[in-house]
Each structure stands twice: as C-alpha cells, then as structure tokens.
C-alpha cells in the first residue's frame, strides 16, 4: 500500500504509473508488464470470480459544485444520465454545465441522450461561466512549464499550424490532462489541438500498417 499526495491528473494512468512505478509507457502500461485497475473494476472481477456474477453495475462519481450532494453511487449499466440527475438533482438547473470526466479534461454531454457505461463514469456538474474569447498566443511558455509529461504544447501547435512532421514531439506521451488549456492566458484550447495532432499520428500509423 502506498500513500500519495493528492494532485490533479494523478488518476491519469500515465501519471499514476510514472509516480508509483517510476516507469513511462508509450501507449498502454502492459508494454511494461503493468496492469492498472480502478476500484470499480476490481470489485467487478471479485464478484465475477467469487459469485460468477456478470458486471451489471458501475460505481459512478458525481462531482462538481452544482450537484445537491456530491457522491459515489453504484449505478446499473445502461441507466440514462437523466435518471441519475432526477435522483441526485442540481442546485440551480438552468446554470449547469455537465461534463463526462473532470473539470479540466471532461467533455460536455447532453443528459437527454446519454447512457451511463463502465467507461469513465465521472460526471462533473459545474456552474456555467461567461464565454471567454480566444486570443493569439503570447509565447508566455506557461503550457510548457505546466505540462506534467514535459512536452512542449506551444511548439506542437506551431508544427500543426505549419503542417510540419509531428513525430519528434512524442505526442503519444500526452495524457490529455488538459492542463495546458487551463493555464493558457489566451484561452487557446491547447490540449484539444494537441489531441488532434496525436490522432493524426495514430491514423498515419494505422494507414501505414494497412498498406
Ligand atoms: S494535455 Fe497538455 S499539459 Fe496535458 S500532457 Fe498533453 S500536452 Fe501536456
Ligand atoms: S500558454 Fe497559451 S499563450 Fe502561453 S505559450 Fe502556451 S499556447 Fe501560447
């Protein structure tokens, strides 16, 4: 058992493996002989082995400043997010931004047609803030200083804009934590652009493998 400090992005698999095992992997931890399970998966494995029970539920986390009560709840797979909202309730329904995932890297979801699955069952309800305007990059370097994987997000943006080769930037190490966007004073969606570059490289890799 290892006790660790709490800090943002520790729950990210790359960050966790780097911190606990002092190992950096490229795509999956199994490359280094490591498997990472969360508590919900461990519970599902235990129930399957001990009671031959298939996984029919997941432990979902409801967090953020707009739920009436933040909590963990065992939810049946396939439950609509709308039902969960009816059960837990928002503080002020009209001002809520609902994300699947955390505050920094989460994706906005529409509860009307969203079904809860075992994949990333974290739902953040946040107060809607005024839209911020995107400005030009001022070359402050904050995205570089903040990146936990020591990448150079601003240089990656430059390379993507100029359609340069991205292979030297080690994009596969990006954990998509979103911190580069969070700290950017120009409100540039840096991590979204980095993610696009990462996807482009993966697509190229698949394409070359298929040829
Ligand atoms: S999302 Fe941004 S800060 Fe996070 S690892 Fe990727 S480049 Fe670095
Ligand atoms: S944090 Fe934003 S403004 Fe600063 S260098 Fe990075 S992309 Fe440019």
What is the mean pLDDT of the segment spanning 19-26? 88
What's the gap between Cα 37 and its chain centre? 16
> HEC string of the chain?
CCCCCCCCCCCCHHHHHHHHHCCCCCCCHHHHCCCCCCHHHHHHHHHHHHHCCCCCEEEEEEECCCECCCEEEEEECCCEHHHHHHHHCECCHHHEEEEECCCCCCEECCHHHCECCCCCCEEEEEECCCCCCCCCCCCCCHHHHHCCCCCCHHHHHHHHHCCCCCHHHCHHHCCCCCHHHHHCCCCCCHHHHHHHHHHHHHHHHHHHHHC
Q: Which of 127, 158, 176 is the last residue of a domain?
A: 127
CA distance 90 to 133: 28
CA distance 59 to 74: 4
Of the residues 12, 194, 195, 201, which should be mutated to test ligand 1's pocket, given the most ligand atoms within 8 Å of the CB?
194
Cα angle: 129, vertex 99, 154; to 5 degrees: 75
Asked if the structure places residue 35 within a domain, the reply is no
Residues 150 and 195 in one domain: yes
Cα–ligand 1 centroid distance for 184 (angstroms): 12
**Sign of the four-CA dihedral 100, 182, 71, 84:** negative
Residue identifier of the C-alpha nearest atom 4 of ligand 2:
140
Residues 101 and 160 in one domain: no
Ligand 2 near 60 CB (within 6 A)? no
Residues 67 and 102 in one domain: yes
Counting from 1 in the atom list of ligand 1, the atom nearest the Cα of 175 is: 5
pLDDT, tens digit, 9 for 90 and up, residues 32-89: 999 999 888 898 999 999 999 999 999 999 999 999 999 999 999 999 999 999 999 9
pTM of the model: 0.72
Q: Which of 76, 101, 127 is the last residue of a domain?
A: 127
Residues 107 and 157 in one domain: no
Asked if the structure places residue 152 within a domain, the reply is yes
Asked if the structure places residue 14 within a domain, the reply is no
- Which ligand number lies closest to the CA of residue 155? 2
| Structural domain containing residue 189 | 142-204
What is the mean pLDDT of the segment spanning 134-143? 96
pLDDT, tens digit, 9 for 90 and up, residues 86-132: 999 999 888 899 999 888 778 889 999 899 999 889 999 998 877 77
pLDDT > 70: percent of the chain? 100
Residues 123 and 160 in one domain: no
Asked if the structure places residue 153 within a domain, the reply is yes
Residues 169 and 118 in one domain: no
Residues 111 and 147 in one domain: no
Asked if the structure places residue 20 within a domain, the reply is no
In 162-189, where does DSSP find H-type helix?
179-183
Asked if the structure places residue 146 within a domain, the reply is yes
Residues 112 and 152 in one domain: no
Q: Which of 104, 127, 150 is the last residue of a domain?
A: 127
CA distance 45 to 208: 37
156 to each of 13, 128, 145, 164, how far by Cα in Å?
Answer: 22, 30, 14, 9
Residues 67 and 121 in one domain: yes
Residue identifier of the C-alpha nearest atom 3 of ligand 1:
147
Asked if the structure places residue 105 within a domain, the reply is yes
Asked if the structure places residue 80 within a domain, the reply is yes
CA distance 22 to 198: 24
Domain count within the chain: 2
Residues 146 and 195 in one domain: yes
């Amino acid at each position: 058992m290892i006790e660790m400090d709490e800090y943002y992005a520790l729950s990210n698999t790359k960050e966790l493996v780097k911190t606990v095992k002092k190992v950096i992997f490229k795509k999956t931890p199994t490359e280094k002989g490591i498997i990472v399970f969360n508590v919900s998966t461990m519970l599902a494995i235990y129930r399957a082995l001990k009671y031959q029970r298939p996984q029919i539920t997941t432990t979902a986390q409801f967090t953020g400043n707009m739920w009436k009560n933040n909590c963990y709840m065992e939810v049946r797979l396939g439950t609509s997010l709308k039902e969960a909202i009816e059960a837990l309730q928002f503080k002020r329904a009209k001002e809520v931004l609902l994300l699947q995932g955390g505050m920094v890297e989460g994706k906005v979801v529409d509860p009307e047609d969203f079904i809860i699955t075992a994949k990333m069952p974290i739902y953040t309800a946040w107060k809607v803030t005024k839209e911020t305007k995107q400005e030009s990059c001022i070359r402050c370097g904050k995205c570089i200083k903040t990146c936990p994987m020591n990448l150079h997000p601003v240089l990656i943006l430059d390379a993507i804009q100029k359609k340069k080769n991205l292979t030297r930037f080690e994009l596969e190490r990006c954990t998509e934590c979103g911190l580069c966007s969070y700290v950017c004073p120009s409100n540039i969606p840096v991590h979204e652009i980095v993610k696009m570059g990462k996807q482009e490289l993966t697509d190229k890799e698949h394409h070359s493998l298929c040829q």
